[in-house]
Amino acid sequence: MISAAALTRRAAPVLACAALLAVWQIASLALKSDSFPTALEAIRTIPDILGDQESLINILASLRRMAIGFGIAVLVSIPLGLLMGRSRAVAAFFNPLLMVIYPVPKAALMPIIMLWLGVGDITKTLVIFLGVSLPVIYHSFEGAKAVEEKMLWSGAAMGLSPLQRLARIVLPAALPEILTGCRTGLVLALITMITSEMIARQSGAGNILFNALDMGQYDTVYAMIIIVGAMGICLDAAFERIRARLVRWSEPQFDMPLSFS
Amino acid sequence: MKVVPSRSSEWVRPVTSQRPASTIIEIDRVSQVFQTSARKDHLALSDISLTIEEGAFVSILGPSGCGKSTLLYIVGGFVSPTTGAAKMKGQAITGPGPDRGPVFQEFALFPWKTVLGNVMYGPRQQGVRANEAEVQSRALIEMVGLKGYENFYPKELSGGMKQRVALARTLAYHPEVLLMDEPFGALDAHTRTRLQNDLLNIWERDRKTVLFVTHSVDEAVFLSDKVVMMSKSPGRIREVIEIDLPRPRRRNELLLDPRYQKCVVDIERMFDESDKVGSPS
Ligand SMILES: Nc1ncnc2c1ncn2[C@@H]1O[C@H](COP(=O)(O)OP(=O)(O)O)[C@@H](O)[C@H]1O
Ligand SMILES: [Mg+2]
């Protein structure tokens, strides 16, 4: 049997979405503006978009860039962050570099990257990579720094080499923190994905959105916002499930069931 | 306890009965200086020389901050001394190794591994096959009194249970010397005495060499063959006392034994005297 508390927890996101749509519907009916379709109109447009082959290809291309950018960023950032956390020299070298890059909006770098690499997949994937890297590096770094030294000593006494200790002690010990960074990175991947397609308008979900805006197809604009938002929510929820599974051994911590981005 | 032969010499070495007086660890004029600030140096250990015999239970006893842990870490190879050297069986200690197994006050278990996973970690690292390591580890878990907890994660265990796991994890890879740094310091009094009893029982089976750091006089006297008393600022050896109480020792018998009581009182008196004579600050 599901307890009342569990039921409330599961129903909460659904209720929140429903409330949001209701407010939207009422506001739209009250304002009666051409550029502000009702929630129902927007939702009715979604099947049209997803049924259209070209739109679907565009959206899938976006997701593919996002997956590649996110994947490479995670593969590079975790080892780098862990090394920084365990080696003062590595941290001293990369920290200033990252401090400079950190506050720069990655999308602001796009014009330069476009000049070098064009407006194609590589540029957009690179921007996603940059957006995801920093939170993952930062959290891996913090996680690695916090690993108890005695744990590493215990490993050393068992005969683990420094590299084995990094992979088999620091990595698992820092995993909860690393995955927190990855979760932030995933949301940032979606944000930079859309942003990059707004700047380099050639293909992708962001492109559909802004083309529709240019042509005054407001139903499509709002429908795309719902689609992108739903993608974010689903990706985040899926990731959270995996995360919770991987770090079940660590202390329970308070967490929102979903993060809305 | 079975020793996994890792070097060829161990195959050829004749099986001799353990000579009680052979030295296993030698600490030779070790000093340790820590730089506390840019200009200030702190002499944590000053000219420590000590030999430890194979199979002996030796305690290092002294007030907090006298360098007990540092000395233990030097033997463990986790810290290298500023001057002097520590040797294990005549070989200079240059780093940690499976011949010296640490047990820390902080337990330092791997929280992502179950009890069984923690205990198996060492043997697996040494190349013991998984099923063999599991059988050995389950036996050790039973020996430290945790049968039934094999699949628990460290966060689900109490402090005393965690320290039992830590002991089993270290025993699992058959170190020749156990290095224990105030292992029961974080436990409540009741759990502490139970673990002291259990540790003695386990030790009395195979008489592994133990170097045991504590600041508790009765813990040192109850457990040890030899108590190394240290004093503070700088960390020095004050006195080395042999504890000639008979074994096997039972706590409830020992507490009533006048020889035990005399040992404890004598040591406490020595510390009191050094406090009075010590620096007026
Ligand atoms: N890594 C370190 N850096 C600076 N000072 C240290 C370090 N480790 C220990 N010390 C100092 O050395 C002294 C002895 O420490 P420790 O060996 O931990 O003593 P004990 O274990 O007897 O309490 C203390 O004054 C402590 O502050
Ligand atoms: Mg200490």
Which residue, by CA, sits nearest to atom 26 of ligand 1? B65
Interchain CB contact of B152 with A (< 8 Å): no
Contact call for A157 and B155, based on CB within 8 A? no
Q: Which residues span the domain enclosing A218?
A: 44-246
Residues in chain B: 281
Q: Is residue A154 in some structural domain? A: yes
Peptide bond into A111 cis (omega under 30): no
In a domain, A28, yes or no: no
Q: Is A4 a member of any domain?
A: no
Q: What is the pLDDT of residue A252?
A: 62
Phi, psi of B25 (to 5 degrees): -125, 135
What's the pLDDT at A253? 46
Whole-number pLDDT of residue A202:
80
pLDDT at A6: 83
B97 touches chain A (CB under 8 A): yes
How much is the pLDDT for B21? 67
The verdict on residue A21 lying in a domain is: no
The reported pLDDT for the residue numbered A104 is: 87
Short-list B168, B163, B204, B167, CA closest to B184: B163
> What is the position in ligand 1's atom list of the atom closest to the CA of B36?
4
- For residue B80, the one-letter residue type is S
Distance separating alpha carbons of residues B232 and B279, to the nearest angstrom: 10
Q: How far apart (Å, rounded) are the C-alpha atoms in residues A255 and B179?
A: 40
Q: Specify the amino acid at residue B234.
A: P
Q: What is the CATH number of the domain that holds A238?
A: 1.10.3720.10
Which uninterrupted H or E stretch holds B229? strand B226-231
C-alpha B233 – ligand 2 centre gap (Å): 14
> What b/e string do you get for A82-120 counting C-beta neighbours within 10 Å, with b at 16 or more?
bbbbbeeebbeebeeebeeeeeeebbeebeebbeeeebe
At B39 the pLDDT is: 78
The answer to whether residue A2 is domain-embedded is no
Ligand 1 proximity of B69 Cβ (cutoff 6 Å): yes
Q: Is residue A185 part of a domain?
A: yes
How many folded domains does chain A comprise?
1
A165 inside domain: yes
Low-confidence ranges of chain A (pLDDT < 50): 253-261
> According to the model, what pLDDT value does residue A4 have?
81
Residues of A in contact with B102 (CB under 8 A): 150, 153-154, 157
Res B2: pLDDT: 44
Residue B237, phi then psi, degrees to nearest 5 = -85, 125
- In order along its 281 residues, chain B shows pLDDT tens digits of 444 444 444 444 444 444 446 999 999 999 999 988 777 888 999 999 999 999 999 999 999 999 999 999 999 999 999 999 999 999 999 999 999 999 999 999 999 999 999 999 999 999 999 999 999 999 999 999 999 999 999 999 999 999 999 999 999 999 999 999 999 998 999 999 999 999 999 999 889 999 999 999 999 999 999 999 999 888 999 999 999 998 889 888 899 999 999 999 999 998 888 766 554 44
**Domains in chain B and their CATH numbers?**
1-6+22-99+177-243 (3.40.50.300), 108-174 (no CATH)
Task: Determine, yes or no, domain membership for A182.
Answer: yes
Residue B125 CB less than 6 A away from ligand 1: no
Alpha-carbon distance B4 to nearest alpha carbon in chain A (angstroms): 13
Collapsing DSSP states into helix, strand and coil, what is residue B257?
A: coil
Q: What are the structure tokens assigned to A32, written together?
A: 């009666």
